[in-house]
Amino acid sequence: EADIYQTPRYLVIGTGKKITLECSQTMGHDKMYWYQQDPGMELHLIHYSYGVNSTEKGDLSSESTVSRIRTEHFPLTLESARPSHTSQYLCASSDGQGIDEQYFGPGTRLTVT
């Protein structure tokens, strides 16, 4: 089992609220990623980071923002949640070596009412 953690696991929140999804890993990986996954659909990359103070947007446009102040921590923030943000959010990390396998956290299921 990979040492990558996400909190909360489930979140139901009202429209307009600010939320932060937490992701942390204890493997010392430099690379970290955020994916969005809707039921029955493929994962879409929304943010990634190659190290501290490095963040980039992924292929899927997202209104969320991320920060990477510490190697082990990669939180995702939504300033004003909307029903369209309802989805599963998966965090992953990799060591950037060789085939660079990604290890995924358990995910956060977000529902915006």
Q: Where along the sequence are the contacts to other proteins (CB under 8 A)?
A: 2, 4, 6, 31, 33, 40-45, 48, 58-59, 90-92, 94, 96, 99-107, 109
Q: Which residues of 3-28 are buried (b: 16+ CB within 10 A; e: fewer)?
A: ebebeeeebebeeeeebebebbbeee
Whose Cβ is closer to other proteins: residue 52's or residue 80's? 52
CB of 38 to other proteins, least distance (A): 10
Name the residue among 26, 3, 23 with its Cα closest to residue 76. Answer: 23
CB of 100 to other proteins, least distance (A): 4
Contact call for residues 18 and 78 (beta carbons, < 8 A): yes
Contact call for residues 61 and 68 (beta carbons, < 8 A): no
Whose Cβ is closer to other proteins: residue 15's or residue 105's? 105
Whose Cβ is closer to other proteins: residue 17's or residue 95's? 95
Whose Cβ is closer to other proteins: residue 79's or residue 100's? 100
